[in-house]
Structure 1
Amino acid sequence: MATIKWGIISTAKIAREHVIPGIQQGQYSEIYAIASREKESAVNVAEQLSIPVAYGSYEELLADPAVQAVYNPLPNHLHVEWSIKAAEAGKHVLCEKPLGVDAQDAEKLVNVCRERGVLLMEAFMYRTHPQWVMAKEYVTSGKIGELKAIQVFFSYMNRDPNNIRNRGDLAGSGGLMDIGCYPVSLSRFIFGVEPRRVMALVNRDPEMKTDIFSSAILEFERGHATFTCSTQLMPYQRVNILGTEGRFEIEIPFNAPENRSTNVYYFSSDGAETRQIAPCHQYQIEVDLFSKAILDGTALPTPPEDAVANMRVLDALFRSEKSQNWETV
C-alpha cells in the first residue's frame, strides 16, 4: 500500500507525544525525518521515536526530495513563514492551529499553497474524532431539533512567563489564539455557517500582557455560541450543543485520550443516553485523511479556506476587546 513520507519541522511536545505516534500508526502515512535548529535535539528525538533521518536545520529537511509532506508545530508566529517555505519546496503542509497570526497572514499562506499546487490543512484534529462526527450527525439529522445554542468551556493553568503561549512580545500568543480558536472552530462547524457578529470580554495578565481569561458571544443567523477560555484556571473542558428537542454533550471534546474510551451524552424528552466512543487516535485519523487526500485526491477534512474564516472571527474578537462592542465578522 502506498504511503506518504512525512517530515516534522521542530521537536515540539505535540509532535513528539501525539502527531509522530499518530503518523507511525497510520495506514497511509510513515514518519521519515525530523528537523531541529539544534542537530543534537533532532538526533535524540529520532533515536527515541525510531525516525530514520534527523536534520540540524529546517532547510535541510525541506530540501530532501524524499519528504512529501511536512507537519509544522512551530510557534504561532512562525506558522506562515515556514509553511510557505515548505510549499515552495513542493511539500504538502499540515500546520498547527491557528494557521496564522491574523486572517491576512493565513490567507497569504493559502494563496501560496494554491499557486504551488500543494495541499494545506490546519491541524484541528478534534474534527476527525468519531465523537465530533457523531455530534455533527445529531445536528444535521435533526435529532436535537433546531440548533439554537452552543456552550463551551476550555481552560488550563500555565503561569510560566517563558512559555511561548505567555510571550506577550510575540504575535499569536495568549489564550484566545491557543485554545479560544477551538470553540470558534467548532461553533462554525456545528452551525455550518459563519457568525454575523461577535463580542468579547478579555482579561490580560498585568505583567505578561497576554489574554488569560476571555468570554465571547458569537451570533449566528439561527442561534448563539458562547464560550469561556482561560490559561490561568483549573484545567477543564466541556461542550454542550442545545436544540429545541435535545442536547448533545461532549465530555472530553478536545484532548480526547488515545488509550481509553470517551463518553458523549444525548438528552431528550425520552430521557438520557450515554454513548461510549471506542479508543482511537485522533491524530492518526487526521494525518491518514490528509495523506489519503494526497494519494487519492479525496477531499480534505477541512479546506484551507476554513482556517482563514476562523481567523476572521478571532480578528473580530480582538477588535471587540478594544471597542468594547459588537464587531461584524
Structure 2
Amino acid sequence: MTQTQNSNRTVRWGIIGAAQIARKNWKAIRMSGNSVVAAVASRDVTRAEAFIHDCSIEVPPVVVGEDGTATLMRPEALGDYQELLDRDDIDAVYIALPTTVRKQWVIAAAKAGKHVLCEKPIAVHADDATEMIAACDEAGVTFMDGVMFDHSARLPAMKHSLADTQQFGKLRRIQSHFSFCADDSFESGNIRANADLEPHGCLGDLGWYCIRLSLWAADDRMPVAVSGRSISQYDGGSVPSEFQAELKFDDDLTAGFFCSFRCVNQQTATFSGDLGYITLDDFVLPFVDAEAKWQCHTHDLQIDNCRWNFGRHTQAQSVWEHAAGEPDSQEVQMIRSFSECVLNGSPDRRASEIAMKTQRVLDALRRSDVEDGKWTSVS
C-alpha cells in the first residue's frame, strides 16, 4: 500500500496501545510543533476513550493552522488496531504494545503506508526485527525505536568531552547501571514480569538503554563478543529481573552494565579514558531541571615520600535543555525529528540500523545467559 498523502505540514499520529509511556509521548506530540494525535486505539474502546480523556485534561490536543491559529482537536477513540491503520488521516503510528505482539502490528503498519515509532525492545528475536525493518524499508517508511535520550542535545555535546585527547584520552571502559525497585505486586501484576508478553524482562526494559549507550559511546560499532547472566528471574526462572553484562569491542574497549527491578532507582554511567573519566547521573530520564548535565574528572594522585594527596579535579558541563515536557526536551525532539522525516519524505536509516544493532546485542546476551555467561559472538 502506498503511503498516506498529507498535503499540510503536520504529521497526524495514531497511538496504538494505551500504555503509561504513551501519555508522555501524547504530550511530546502536542509540544513538537509539527504533529497532532488523530486517533488512539486500544483492545477496549472504553480504555482508549479514558486515555484520551485523561491526557486531554492535562494536555489538550490542538492542531495549528498555517496562519498560526490553534484549534482544539479531539482524537477518535477506536477499539481495533487495524481500524486505526486503515484510516486515511493517519501518517505515523506510535506502537506501545507488548514486545511479543509488536512484530504483527509493525508489519501491518508498514503495509498500510504508516511510519512507525516502536517501543523497545523492538522484537522477541533479531529475526523478527529484521522482518519488521524490511517491511518498513519496502514501504518507504521510517522505523525508529523509542529511545528518547538518542535525541537529547546532551549526547552530541558529551561526544566533544569524550574526544578531548588532552583531558580524557582514549576511551577504555563504559559502565552503566539502570534500575528501579519494583513493589510486591510487580511480579504478579506487571507485564514486564510475564514471559508471554515481555520475555526479556529487565534486560529488554532497562538493559536496552544500557546497550544503546554503550553503542553510542563506541560510535555505533558492534561488540565482537558479549557475556551475560541473569542474577534473578521472574515467571518460573524465564524472565530476567536482574541482569549483568559485559561487552568486548575490537580495540580493547570494554563495556559493562547492570540492570534490575530490585534495586533503588539509579540511572548512572561512567566513561573511563586513560587520562580522565566522565560521569552521568541521569542518562535515561534527566533530573528535573532546565539543564542536562555531566561531569568531567581528571583527578591525580601525588605521592612524595610520606605525602599522599589524591587531588580532585572535576569540571561540570551542561547544555540548556529541559528534562521533560518542553519544546527542547528529549522526547519532544524525538517526535519532532521523526515527524520531519515523514514530512520531508526521507526515512531515517540510522534509526532503524541502531535499533537493529541493539536487538542483536540483546539476543547475544540472552544466548550467553543460557550458557551460564559464556562469551558469545554477536551475529
TM-score band w.r.t. shorter chain: over 0.9
Taking the TM superposition and a 5 Å limit, the aligned residue runs for 1:19-30 are 19-30=25-36
Q: Are the counterparts in 2 of residues 151 and 226 from structure 1 also a CA contact under 8 Å?
A: yes
Equivalent residue for 1:183, pick from 194, 210, 222: 210
Q: Residues 114 and 141 (structure 1 numbering): CA distance in 2 closer, same or farther, change over 3 Å?
A: farther
- The separation in 2 between residues aligned to 1:297 and 1:137, in whole angstroms, is 31
Partner of 1:309: 357
- The separation in 2 between residues aligned to 1:206 and 1:118, in whole angstroms, is 37
Alignment pair present for 1:152 and 2:194:
no
Q: Residues 55 and 164 (structure 1 numbering): CA distance in 2 closer, same or farther, change over 3 Å?
A: same
Measured after TM superposition, the shift of residue 41 of structure 1 is 1.4
Deviation track 1:92-139 (CA, whole Å, cap 9, x = no partner) reads 000011111111110010111111111111111111112222223322
- Of 100-109 and 171-180, more deviation after overlay is shown by 171-180
Partner of 2:224: 196
Measured after TM superposition, the shift of residue 63 of structure 1 is 1.0
Partner of 2:63: none
Measured after TM superposition, the shift of residue 140 of structure 1 is 4.0
- Of 187-196 and 168-177, more deviation after overlay is shown by 168-177
Q: Are the counterparts in 1 of residues 142 and 347 from structure 2 also a CA contact under 8 Å?
A: no
- The separation in 1 between residues aligned to 2:140 and 2:318, in whole angstroms, is 40
Unaligned runs of 5+ in 2: 1-7, 61-73, 300-311, 323-327
- The separation in 2 between residues aligned to 1:52 and 1:188, in whole angstroms, is 37
Which amino acid in the other structure matches residue 33 of structure 2?
A: Q
Measured after TM superposition, the shift of residue 147 of structure 1 is 0.8
- The separation in 1 between residues aligned to 2:110 and 2:90, in whole angstroms, is 12
- Of 318-327 and 131-140, more deviation after overlay is shown by 131-140
- The separation in 2 between residues aligned to 1:301 and 1:199, in whole angstroms, is 29
Partner of 2:243: 214
Q: Residues 207 and 91 (structure 1 numbering): CA distance in 2 closer, same or farther, change over 3 Å?
A: closer
Taking the TM superposition and a 5 Å limit, the aligned residue runs for 1:25-174 are 25-48=31-54, 49=56, 50=60, 51-140=74-163, 142=165, 144-158=168-182, 159-170=186-197, 172-174=199-201
Measured after TM superposition, the shift of residue 258 of structure 1 is 6.0
Q: Are the counterparts in 1 of residues 122 and 355 from structure 2 also a CA contact under 8 Å?
A: yes
- The separation in 1 between residues aligned to 2:234 and 2:333, in whole angstroms, is 40
Identity %: 30
Instruction: Pick the structure with greater CA Rg.
Output: 2
Which amino acid in the other structure matches residue 153 of structure 1?
A: H
Determine helix, strand or coil for the equivalent of 1:110. helix
Determine helix, strand or coil for the equivalent of 1:205. strand
Q: Are the counterparts in 2 of residues 251 and 262 from structure 1 also a CA contact under 8 Å?
A: no
Measured after TM superposition, the shift of residue 257 of structure 1 is 4.6
Equivalent residue for 2:11, pick from 4, 28, 33: 4
Which amino acid in the other structure matches residue 39 of structure 1?
A: V
- The separation in 2 between residues aligned to 1:100 and 1:206, in whole angstroms, is 20
- The separation in 2 between residues aligned to 1:195 and 1:212, in whole angstroms, is 24
Q: Residues 295 and 183 (structure 1 numbering): CA distance in 2 closer, same or farther, change over 3 Å?
A: same
Which amino acid in the other structure matches residue 273 of structure 1?
A: Q
TM-score by length of 1: 0.93
Alignment pair present for 1:326 and 2:349:
no
Equivalent residue for 2:233, pick from 189, 202, 205: 205
Taking the TM superposition and a 5 Å limit, the aligned residue runs for 1:231-310 are 231-257=261-287, 260-268=290-298, 271-278=313-320, 279=322, 280-297=328-345, 300=348, 302-310=350-358
TM-score by length of 2: 0.81
Determine helix, strand or coil for the equivalent of 1:151. strand
Q: Are the counterparts in 2 of residues 161 and 208 from structure 1 also a CA contact under 8 Å?
A: no
Measured after TM superposition, the shift of residue 259 of structure 1 is 5.7
Measured after TM superposition, the shift of residue 171 of structure 1 is 5.1
Measured after TM superposition, the shift of residue 21 of structure 1 is 0.3
Deviation track 1:33-90 (CA, whole Å, cap 9, x = no partner) reads 1111111111122233244222121111111111000001111112211111111111
Determine helix, strand or coil for the equivalent of 2:168. coil
Q: Are the counterparts in 1 of residues 124 and 199 from structure 2 also a CA contact under 8 Å?
A: yes
- The separation in 1 between residues aligned to 2:234 and 2:122, in whole angstroms, is 27
Which amino acid in the other structure matches residue 232 of structure 2?
A: R
Q: Residues 173 and 218 (structure 1 numbering): CA distance in 2 closer, same or farther, change over 3 Å?
A: closer
